[in-house]
Amino acid sequence: METNKFASARAQSMPNSVFAVMDDAKAEAADKGLEIIDLSLGSSDLNPPKEAIEELKKAVADKSTYGYCLHSCTRAFRQEAAAWYERKFDTKINPKKEVLPLIGSQEGLANLLLATTDPNDTILIPDPGYPAYFGAVVVAGLKVEYMPLLQENGFLPEFDKIDSKIAKKAKLMIISYPNNPTAAVADNKFMQTAVSFCHDNNILLVHDFPYVDMVFGNYKAPSILSQKGGLEIGIELFSSSKSFHMGGFRMAWAIGNSDAIAALKQIKSAIDFNQYLGIQKAVIAAMKSPQEKTIADAHVYQDRRDLLVDMLNDSLWQIEKPKASMYIWAKLPKGLNNSVDFAVNLAKTTGVSLAPGRGFGQRGEGYVRFALVREPEVLKRAVDKINEFLD
C-alpha cells in the first residue's frame, strides 16, 4: 500500500486484493478492444422474482416507506424470514429474538465479529475462503487460525486436526457450505459434527449460507440450526444476493442464537440503520414467491455447470461437477501453478476473466474459480478462448 498519512494501522493492514490486479488486466484487455467475458465475480445475471420488483415499485411510490426504519419497523421482515426458514428446515424460529435483517451478509459478518469477539481473540476460518472474511478479521483485530480445506477431504475442515489448545481459545468459527470458492457441499453429519465441536469448545459457530437455494438434483443444503444444539451456539447468514439474484439491493438476514443476534443488533445500531423498507418488502415478496422459480434458476446454473465442465474436461482440465453453488473450482492444468499469473495473462490476452485461487487464501493457489454468470453461448466462447490461450 502507498503511504497514506490518514490511514490507521488497521486500514494499512487490510489484505491487498488480487482482484484489483485482475481489474487492471481487464481494463488493459478492454483498451485493446477485446470482448470482456467476466467470469470472475459471483454476481448472478438471472432476474429476481417479478413479485419482488412489483413490490419495490409500489413501495417507491408510497411516502410512508421513506423514513428511517428502526427495529420495530423490521417486524414484518423478521416474521417472514422466520417463516421462510421454517418452511425450508422444519425448525421453529422466534422472529423477535432469533432473526435480524442485514445490509448484505458481508456487512453482517463484519459486524458480527465486532459484536461477539474482542481484539486479539482467536477465530477459526477456512483457507481457501470468501475474501471478505480476511478483511473482517483485520477490522475486528483477531488472531486467525486457518482451517485448511483440501481437495482430498472434499474441501471440508477436519475438526479432529484442530489443536485442542487452539480449540479451547477460539471464540468463533466460520464455515460456509455450499462453499465459495470451492463449490463443495456438506451433509447433515458434517453439520452435526461442527455443532458438537463448537458446543464442546464454547465457540460461536457462524455458518455463512448464501447459497442455500443454489443446489442441484436431489441435494439439499443442511442448516446448522436444525442440528441438535444448533440454536445454542450457531448463527446463519442468508442473502437475497444469491437466493433471489438481488446483489445490488443489499439485503440479507441473520438467524440464530438469541444472544448472538442481540449482540449483533447492539453493534449495528451504532453503525447503520436498517435497509430501506421498500427493499425489505421486495425481499418479503421474494421469500413468498413460488418455489418453482428458485428451482428453475438453480437448473440454469446446473446446465451451465454441465456445459462448462464437459467442455473444459474435453481439453486439459480435470474437474468434478459440483452439487451446488454458481462456481466451478478448477485445478490449473498440468505444468501451471501460479493462479494470478495465469488469470492476469489470460485476461490481458483474451478478455476472459477468472478469479485466481490465490485471492481466496494461500491454499487457493493452483486453482481458478469460474463464476457461471453468463449465458451458455458466452461460456462456450470463453472456453474456446481459454483453449486457444493454452495452446
Ligand X SMILES: Cc1ncc(COP(=O)(O)O)c(C=O)c1O
Helix axis angle for 105-116 and 258-271, nearest 10°, is 110
- Sorted by sequence, the CB contacts under 8 Å of residue 5 that are 6+ apart come out as none
Measured from the CB atom, the residue of 136 and 231 that comes closer to ligand X is 136
Measured from the CB atom, the residue of 55 and 208 that comes closer to ligand X is 208
Helix axis angle for 339-350 and 18-31, nearest 10°, is 20
**Angle 103-361-338 from CA coordinates, rounded to 5°:** 130
Measured from the CB atom, the residue of 233 and 326 that comes closer to ligand X is 326
- Cα dihedral 116→224→46→386 (10° resolution): 90
How far apart are CB 108 and ligand X at their closest, in Å? 7
How far apart are CB 340 and ligand X at their closest, in Å? 20
How far apart are CB 295 and ligand X at their closest, in Å? 21
Distance, in Å, from the CA atom of 18 to the CA atom of 272, rounded to the nearest integer, reads 29
How far apart are CB 388 and ligand X at their closest, in Å? 29
Measured from the CB atom, the residue of 176 and 223 that comes closer to ligand X is 176
The footprint of ligand X on this chain (CB under 6 A) covers a number of residues equal to: 13
Measured from the CB atom, the residue of 195 and 206 that comes closer to ligand X is 206
Instruction: Tell me if 130 contacts ligand X by CB under 6 A.
Output: yes
Contacts (CB under 6 A) with ligand X, residues 7-26: none
> Counting beta carbons within 10 angstroms of the beta carbon of residue 295, is it exposed (0 to 12), middle (13 to 18) or buried (19 or more)?
exposed
Closest CA to 354 of 382, 375, 334: 382
Query: Which part of the chain contacts ligand X (CB under 6 A), choosing from 99-107, 163-171, 220-228, 280-288?
Result: 99-107
How far apart are CB 239 and ligand X at their closest, in Å? 3
Query: Which part of the chain contacts ligand X (CB under 6 A), choosing from 104-112, 262-270, 272-280, 310-318?
Result: 104-112
Measured from the CB atom, the residue of 252 and 328 that comes closer to ligand X is 252
Interface characters, 24-63, with ligand X (x: CB under 6 A): ------------------x---------------------
- With CB under 6 A as the contact rule, the residue among 44, 65, 105, 201 that binds ligand X is 105
How far apart are CB 334 and ligand X at their closest, in Å? 29
- With CB under 6 A as the contact rule, the residue among 239, 302, 339, 350 that binds ligand X is 239
Measured from the CB atom, the residue of 105 and 111 that comes closer to ligand X is 105
Contacts (CB under 6 A) with ligand X, residues 286-305: none
Measured from the CB atom, the residue of 106 and 117 that comes closer to ligand X is 106
Contact by Cβ (8 Å): 49, 285: yes
Measured from the CB atom, the residue of 29 and 359 that comes closer to ligand X is 359
How far apart are CB 180 and ligand X at their closest, in Å? 4
Distance, in Å, from the CA atom of 372 to the CA atom of 378, rounded to the nearest integer, reads 10
Contacts (CB under 6 A) with ligand X, residues 243-262: 247, 252
Measured from the CB atom, the residue of 170 and 237 that comes closer to ligand X is 237
- Sorted by sequence, the CB contacts under 8 Å of residue 252 that are 6+ apart come out as 101, 102, 103, 104, 105, 107, 108, 210, 237, 238, 239, 240, 241
Distance, in Å, from the CA atom of 260 to the CA atom of 263, rounded to the nearest integer, reads 5
Contact by Cβ (8 Å): 289, 84: no
CA dist 312 to 308, 350, 374, Å? 6, 16, 16
Contact by Cβ (8 Å): 99, 78: yes
Distance, in Å, from the CA atom of 158 to the CA atom of 217, rounded to the nearest integer, reads 27
- Sorted by sequence, the CB contacts under 8 Å of residue 366 that are 6+ apart come out as 331, 332, 337, 339, 357
Measured from the CB atom, the residue of 42 and 357 that comes closer to ligand X is 42
Query: Which part of the chain contacts ligand X (CB under 6 A), choosing from 54-62, 75-83, 100-108, 166-174?
Result: 100-108
Query: Which part of the chain contacts ligand X (CB under 6 A), choosing from 147-155, 190-198, 239-247, 340-348?
Result: 239-247
Contacts (CB under 6 A) with ligand X, residues 180-199: 180
- Sorted by sequence, the CB contacts under 8 Å of residue 168 that are 6+ apart come out as 201
Distance, in Å, from the CA atom of 327 to the CA atom of 41, rounded to the nearest integer, reads 10
- Sorted by sequence, the CB contacts under 8 Å of residue 34 that are 6+ apart come out as 350, 351
Q: Using CB under 6 A, list all residues that contact ligand X.
A: 42, 104-106, 130, 176, 180, 208, 210, 239, 241, 247, 252
